[in-house]
Amino acid sequence: MMRTFPELVLDGVLVSPFVLYAGAALAIFAVLRPLLYLVSFERAFSNPPAAELSLYVAILALLIAVF
């Protein structure tokens, strides 16, 4: 049985579900970023931007896996 993916239609243009997931992951990451600053997330890593990118990718993968 194939799983169907919901697509968003904007003025007749089909938007891939991946774009929706990427936007949702970006919104979740934007909410988490001040919390990460409060717990000194950047001090735990030698390259904080790479750690933040990895966290974004993990959130994106979680969204794709769940939905």
Q: Is residue 11 part of a domain?
A: no
Q: For residue 20, give the nearest of 3, 2, 33, 7 by alpha carbon.
A: 7
What's the pLDDT band for 5 if we cut at 50, 70, 90? low
Q: Is residue 49 part of a domain?
A: yes
Q: Is residue 3 part of a domain?
A: no
Q: For residue 14, give the nearest of 3, 5, 25, 23 by alpha carbon.
A: 5
Q: Is residue 6 part of a domain?
A: no
Contact 60, 25 (CB under 8 A): yes
Q: Is residue 5 part of a domain?
A: no
Looking at residue 46, the DSSP 8-state letter turns out to be: S
Q: Could you tell me the residue range of the domain that residue 59 belongs to?
A: 16-66
Total number of domains constituting the chain: 1
- pLDDT tens across 11-65, in order? 888 888 899 999 999 999 999 999 999 999 999 999 999 999 999 999 999 999 9
